[in-house]
Amino acid sequence: MLRSTVAARHILVHEQPRERPYPERDIPEFFSHSAQFVAALEWLRSRHFRVYILRGEALASTHEVNPAKPVSDAIIKLHNRTVANVTAGLNMALTPASRDDEQLLLDSGVMNTGLSERVMLSGAADAIWRAE
C-alpha cells in the first residue's frame, strides 16, 4: 500500500491528472500512511535524530524533472505550505540547512544524484530544511 500511496502522490503532484490515479477505497489507507509518517517524525525527534525535509524549490532537481516540463510555482508553494503546516502542527521549527548540515548530508549518501549535484553547486540552504 505504501508503494501505491507514493505512486499516487507522484502522479497527483507531478502530472496533475484530470482523474484520480487511485480508487476511492484507498483513501483511508492514505490517511493511515500519513498518520504513520507523523508518528515516524515524532519518533525521530524523540530520539534526537536530525530531520531533514526537501524544500519545494528543490523538487525538480530531486526528481530530475524534464526541463521542458518544469515543476510549477503552484506545486512548489503547495509543497512548502504542506510541510509548514505539518511541522507547525508537530510544534517543529523549519530552518534552512546549515553548512554543517550540508556537509553531513553530502557525506551520508542519502541524497540522490540530482539533489546532491544541486547542493554541491548551490548549497543546501535553498534546497533542504532542518526540522527541529
Q: CB neighbours (10 Å) of residue 50? A: 13
pLDDT at 15: 56
Per-residue pLDDT of the chain (132 residues; tens, 9 = 90+): 445 555 555 555 555 666 766 677 776 777 777 778 788 888 988 999 999 999 999 998 988 878 888 888 888 888 888 888 888 888 999 999 999 999 999 999 899 999 999 999 999 999 999 998
C-alpha to C-alpha distance for 129 and 49, rounded to whole angstroms: 14
First to last CA, the chain: 29
pLDDT at 2: 45
Domain ranges of the chain: 1-48, 50-132
